[in-house]
Each structure stands twice: as C-alpha cells, then as structure tokens.
Amino acid sequence: YLNDHEVEIDQLVVDILDAKKATPVIVAMEQDLEDERNTNEYHLYLAFPPSTENLEDVSTPAKPGLFRRVRVPLVAFCEKLAKAFEGQMTSTTLCFVADASCGLGSEILTNVVKDCGHGVATISNPCWMTALSLLLSKKHTCSITPEQFERIAFSLCRLEAHRVRSSIGKTSRTVVFTLPGQACTPLLLPLVQKVFVHERHVFVYDGCCHSVEMGLALRKKYGSSYRQKPEKEEWECVSATPQVISATFPMAPLKHNKELTETLSKLKGDQASIVEAWMASVDTFLDMKAKEKKNFYTPFVCRMGFLMARSGIGNGDGTDKSGLALKNVLQYITGSRSRALSEEVINKALKSLKENRIKSEEAVKEFKLDNPGKILIEKCVFAHKGILIGEKTLIDTVQPKDDWSLKAAKKLKSCLCCAPGEEDEEDEDE
C-alpha cells in the first residue's frame, strides 16, 4: 500500500512509463472503509504483470498469472501520472465511442475494428470507467473536484493506451475506447470530451425500440445480476463491465422530466429501465451538440440502422448501403479518409459486420416488440421534446456517402423510436 509514500509513488510512475516494462492493469477504484487514517480517501488498485525475459513483449498476459497488486491514493497518484504523460510526446490517437444502442453499436464497431486487421488497439467497456461514472454520479458528496476528475480521466486513459502500445499498428496509430454502455454515457461523455477535445469521437445510436429489444435479449442471456463470470478467463474479458449492466440500468436518471415518470410507469420494469438509460444518453448528446460552439463536440454520429441494413434513407432507391456506411466510420476511426483502406481490410471488415449482424438479429428474434409495445415506448420518447427537435432525428447523423461529412446539410425525416426510414419507406409503398 503506497498511501503517503511520495518517493515510492514517484518511482512507481517512472516504472510505469518505462517502455521496456509491461504496464500494470487497472483493477479497481474504491474506498477502504477499514482504513482508519482516512475513510473518505479513494484508492486506485493496480496489478503489475509478472516479469518476462522477452524485453520486446510488453503486452498484458492474456491468461491470469501472478500479478503484483499495488494500492495508491487515486487523486494524488493520477496527478503525478498525468504530469508524467504530459511530459511525453505521443503519436497515438485516441478514439472514444459513446453508445445509445444498448451496446449493439459499441460491440459491433469493436469487433469490426479487431477483425479488419488494420492495427487498431481496443479498450472495451473498462470497469474503471464504470467506477468513475459512479463517482461522478455522487460528485456533490464526494471530495473529488471537477479538475481532479479531469486529471483522473486523462491519466488513466493514457495509461490504458500505453498498456496496449504493442498492439498498435504503424499505419493508423489509434486506440479505440468504448465507453461502458449507454448508462454511463451521460456521466462520462462530457468529461471525456472536455479532456480529449482534440481526439476522435464517435456517437453510435439506434432507435429506442431496437435498443429495448437488444436490452431484453441481454437480460435473458446474462440475467440481471452483476455477479457474472466472464466468458473466458482472460484479462480483456475480466476487466470489462458486463454489457447487461452498463446498457440496461440507468445511472443518470432524467429527473427534470415530469411527463416521463407517468409514461415509464406504463411499461414493464425491465423495459422502463432500458428506455430511461437510452433517453439519458441521447439527452446528453443533444445537450452537448447544443453547446457545440463552446465544447467543440463534433463526433461521427453513426446510426446503427445504416450498418444493420434496415434503412434506405439517403440512398434514393432504398438499396443496402451498410458497406458504404461501414467504410465511412472506419475511415474516421482509423484516420484513413485521405488514404484509402486496403481491399483486404475492407473485405475483412465487411465479413465481420455480416457475422455480427446475423448474430445480433438472431439474439433479438424472440424479443421483437408488437405494435402496442412500440406505441408505449414511443410515448416515453415523445415525453422528451428535445429528442424530436427539427425533423425528428439526431443532428448531424453521417449519411453513407463517399464524400461524407460530420456536419449534415439536411436532417433525416424518421423519428428515433422506429428503425431509420421505416416511416418514409411505408409512405413510398403507399
């Protein structure tokens, strides 16, 4: 335990930044109520991988081993670590993916990025970000200041990027962070955007009804308990927040909306919690876009309807443009718009998208909502007037085009409750 041993903490930071040593993994972020010296202090728990004779292999071992556990004071350590990283030059770009699709968008984009083989490293739904979200949710009662939260986010994201440095390719030099679920988005996104204002940001979203169907499928697959075993005893799985938790349980309720309480009460409990988590995430996005001139939030707004081949909006003839939509978002994530992605990378990405699409469609098959169920959910969404601003869609959704833009020239016409384009396509049929 390195509590007040400043010299030891300084040495720990030096060891962490040593390029020839494996970087520690972040295990937990919590208080020690049995520590009589300061029960209000928050601590960071790190685990250092066992040493290896191979100096070129600095990656985190996939399988559990004899890790050295270290506890440090969260605020003091992160301040020292932040200063150390600020003193280093880096060519690595960070890309943050925020979610409003019950985890579907984050999971598919992560899998595609991994499978396409373009050398992009990924950090998926880290548990420490969920813990940080919980601290942010009670920031008025905990002793951590807004500035200290910023230093914590900066230092730990840079630490994670440093940990996966051996997985980063020479071309894109990118690390993708997927924020842990739509429940955490309202708390994390404003902080991450402020700290990493010049990095890449993606906001991936789906219709509320589709998100509810996905959330119900997750509940069925994993149950509602947080006590879950990872699919594999590997660090990447062990360190990730269970998707069912971060996607289906609201952490930042929309307390200011009086109408929503009545409309949510008419839904089943599991559906209501998913709807509220989704709405809180979208509400945060809209609020940040409204303040775009101050916060410079200009993300790639990715609609899952395009990737899932549900929508013909923007296509003219209604043909499937999921491949082009995938190419667009990959160009943004990898910073490859000015230099074409190889045919091999594109083909691998398309194959991965198809496999993940089939898997997700199969998962939600038995949870498809009937029309009365959709109407009840739509009433909840309609209670939030802001979601239906303009022409009833999220602002600046990127259209599948070769000359795509982060700023939309015109908005789509369908609402967020339905799949993109369902209403428009029905009108055309009529």
Structure tokens at 277: 């988590």
Give me the DSSP letters along 62-107.
SS---PEEEEEEHHHHHHHHHHHHHTS---PEEEEEEEESTTHHHH
β-pair partners for 196: none
Helix 343-363 vs helix 322-334: crossing angle, to nearest 10: 120
Strands (E), 237-385: 300-303
* pLDDT for the residue numbered 237: 62
The model's pTM: 0.88
Q: Which residues are 97's β-sheet partners?
A: 178, 202
Tokens 């997927």 sit on residue: 178
Interatomic CA distance for residues 345 and 158, integer angstroms = 27
What is the identity of the amino acid at 9?
I
- Residue 174, helix vs strand vs coil: strand
Q: Which amino acid is at 231?
A: E
> What's residue 411's pLDDT?
46
Q: Residue 59: helix, strand or coil by DSSP?
A: coil
DSSP state of 303: E
Coil, helix or strand for 367? helix
What tokens appear for 92 in the block?
A: 């690595």
**E strand or H helix at 47:** strand 42-48
And the tokens for 42? 């928050």
CB 386 within 8 A of CB 286: yes
CA of residue 1 relative to chain centroid, distance: 31
pLDDT of residue 426: 37
Q: Which pLDDT score is estimated for 47?
A: 87
How far is 427 from 405, CA to CA, in rounded Å? 27
Nearest Cα residue to 121 out of 153, 86, 160: 160
Q: Could you please report the per-residue DSSP string of 368-410?
A: PPPHHHHHHHHHHHHTSGGGG-TTTS-TTBPPS-TT--SS-SS
pLDDT of residue 2: 58
| pLDDT value of residue 295 | 93
Residue 133 near residue 189, CB atoms below 8 Å: no
The CA-atom distances, in angstroms, between 274 and each of 246, 281, 325 are 10, 11, 26
The pLDDT value given to residue 393: 65
270-307 CB burial, b ≥16 within 10 A, e <16: bbbbbbbbbbbbbbbbbebbeeeeeeebebbbbbbbbb
Along the chain (430 residues), what's the average pLDDT of each consecutive run of 10 residues? 73 89 88 77 87 55 68 94 92 94 95 92 93 88 90 96 85 90 94 96 94 92 61 62 84 78 90 93 94 94 91 58 94 87 94 96 94 92 70 78 80 51 38
